[in-house]
Amino acid sequence: MKLGTESKKKTIIAGVLLVLAAALLVYQFSGNGSDNGAPSQNAAQPAKSGNAGHKHGLMAHSLDPTLRFDLLRSSEDVTYKGNGRNIFSSQAPPPPQDIPNPVQSALQQQAAQQPPPPPPIDLKFYGYEGPPKSATKRVFLLKGEDIFLAKEGDIVDRRYKIMHVGQNSVEVQDVLTNHTQTIPLTAGS
């Protein structure tokens, strides 16, 4: 059985490194080492020779105990004005008063006063039922994949009323918006 001790040089180097690692661990955990992040023993810990106040002496030496009356006077002159909003209230703050209202141009005002145009009627006139010369003309109307058969006065798709059936067109009124549109005869395929 081989333990890897055939090379004496490697074995000696491994042993020395193992001893150094053990010594470093003992030194770190024994309390003789300095604290993590402390720059030196004198600044971090008081000396053990009776200088117990040395640490406090460094801090007290860095502080300036004199009063600065100029800074006190400047803080006395500051007055809190506030904006009138109660910070303990859940209501939104009032809008600022100094923002001017934008001026609308005449075209924008005119466009705002006119209602939007009604949507186009999406029916297509596909053809007639029977001979086109008959007294009561019935027409085929398409909407998407739906086919409607109607005559004058009928309501199609619960929205469109057939007003007049002509030779090449149909006049349809949108009952909801009172918009009338003439639909021409489209070539059937």
- Classify domain 124-184 at the CATH topology level: SH3 type barrels. (2.30.30)
pLDDT of 41 = 46
Q: In what order do the strands lie in the sheet with 146-150?
A: 124-129, 138-143, 146-150
pLDDT of 29 = 87
pLDDT of 61 = 61
pLDDT of 6 = 72
Domain borders along the chain are 124-184
- Cα-only R_g, the chain: 48
Question: What is the full per-residue pLDDT of the chain (189 aa) written as tens digits?
Answer: 566 667 888 889 999 999 999 999 999 888 654 555 444 444 444 444 445 445 555 555 667 778 888 888 888 878 877 777 777 888 776 676 766 666 666 667 776 777 778 888 888 888 888 765 667 788 889 898 899 999 999 999 999 999 998 888 899 999 998 999 999 877 654
Task: Give one DSSP letter per residue of 16-67, joined into a string.
Answer: HHHHHHHHHHHHHHTT-SPPTT-S-HHHHS--SSS-TTHHHHHHHHHS--S-
